[in-house]
Amino acid sequence: MKLPKRLLAWVVITGILCMAVPSSAQGQWTVLAYTDFMGFYGQILELTADSSRYLDTPETAPRIPFGPGSNVGVETTDVSLSPDGRWLAVVKATNDGSAAEVVIGDVLHNACCWYFQPIPEVYAIDLAGFDPTSTRLAMSYVGEGENGEPFAGGMMIIPTQLYEDTVPQTVSMSMQTPLLPELPAGIWARMGRWEADGIRFSPLCYACDAGFMGEYSIWNPDTNTFLAHSGEFFTGFGERLDSTGEMIFAANDTNYVSGTEPGMFPPSNVIRYSPNGAIDEANSYVVFADPRLLDIGEVHWVLDGRAALIVSLDLWVLLYRDGTVREVGGTRGHYFFAGTPDGWVTRSGDEEGNITVWHWTETGRTQIAMYGAGTSTLLLRSAPLGTGLTPQAFPLVPPPSPEQLLTQLVPLPAADESLCPGATAPRLHVCGSGRVTPGEPNRVRDLPTLTGSRVLGQIPGGQYFIVLDGPVCEASTGINWWLVRQATLEGWTAEGQGNTYFLEPAS
């Protein structure tokens, strides 16, 4: 544990411009984001339907020690705001995955900061957030064990105000495994939220391709008891509507038109809906399929839960609860950020690295914020959706007959290097898995460009990752860029250059 003897002063970010543009679409909602400048300073950005403003927030400069001449940088990998809005927790990590720590600030009293590392050699931390009373913070951690084991992890509770003699409440994953033998063993845990009955978690490996969907278990730290099956599911390819418990998610179904052979992570070609929040086929059914969209990246609840937004590389589609679909134009280069009662929020970037935040409604979009290069954004608190909604089930979309399937088959396009002059022909696909070719590591950047982008970290040679989006062509360098995720590292990486591939599909 690293605890300062005194509190530090608050620092306000400079050089970041926040713009507000009037909007014809008024909505009574607020989305809170954490804007992070180069991993060193952060502020809370309050977004509304037609404006944005920065709130007073603490300095969250990293305290992770670096060796002389080290080129290792720091990034923010997770954030959490307590239910009462007083405490802000920020996870800082080195972009080479060698160290991580939690920084806690008191937003209400302008007090900064408490610094905490769960174990002496910690590689990564995942926050479950604060308890309903805003007095404790939960997290999972993974790092080097006391006896030099390559990986040791667990879950931990700390009070919001730390002292030198603070004793955390800890349960190691090695302790948890025999308590829940029906669950897969994990080195650390994917964390959900801390609710009245306990903390949601799912055992997880580290730096691997697992843990993207499943069912949460529950740890109640007050009674130190475990529940293997919570009945609450999660998926990285969709969302749960908390007010109703419904789940909507992208999936692959071989009964519908597919653009590739099934594999470990075949690209999603359908959207499934579950009235009770389960993600298995017995409790969900297909509500959307389009032969043009054979690589659906993700789907989100928008418009107060009245519709779902299907996010594909070149085409976004609104799917209403009556089965009506509506294409959303002008989304190239945009990234979904949060759903709102009257629409949704996206981010987009320019060649200089500046980020613009947009509010979308059914009638158009409005710019509500802009900030400069080197700034990243993480969602702190979304707007509640569907609080007064009477759920209407989506209609089933049956699979085509064998005869219809033959007429709807859309062959995969042949690699066309003219799509990105001078680039290697793309071999990856969204929602598939790939790996860095053995040898040198591949850098991961915050934007799909060599110029004006920030290096977030690197994936070692031979390591696997999941493809989230792409390819994006940078014609000036002849590079196809893919948005990938490897463990907690997410960003853009180059597929190759000239005749050399840096990445390859997972076998």
Question: Which CATH architecture does the domain made up of 417-505 adopt?
Answer: Roll (2.30)
Which pLDDT belongs to residue 323? Answer: 94
**Adjacent-strand bridge partners of 152:** 143
Which pLDDT belongs to residue 14? Answer: 23
Q: Mention every residue, 6+ apart, whose C-beta is less than 8 A from residue 40.
A: 60, 61, 62, 74
Is-contact 184 204, C-beta < 8 A?
no
Which of these, 88, 90, 91, lies nearest to 106 by C-alpha position? 88
Peptide bond just before 113 cis, omega within 30 deg: yes
Which pLDDT belongs to residue 249? Answer: 95
Separation of alpha carbons 17 and 164, rounded Å: 39
**Adjacent-strand bridge partners of 483:** 469, 492
Is-contact 159 168, C-beta < 8 A?
no
Which pLDDT belongs to residue 137? Answer: 97
Which pLDDT belongs to residue 413? Answer: 43
Q: Write the DSSP assignment of 43-72 as a string of letters.
A: EEEEE-SS-EEEEP-----------TT---
Taking the model in full, what pTM does it have? 0.74
Domain ranges for the chain, please list them: 417-505
Average pLDDT per consecutive 10 residues, the chain (507 residues; last block may be shorter): 29 25 55 85 89 81 64 85 94 87 88 87 94 96 82 92 85 83 82 95 79 88 92 91 95 82 70 94 94 87 96 88 90 89 91 86 90 84 92 92 64 48 83 83 88 84 84 85 85 88 82
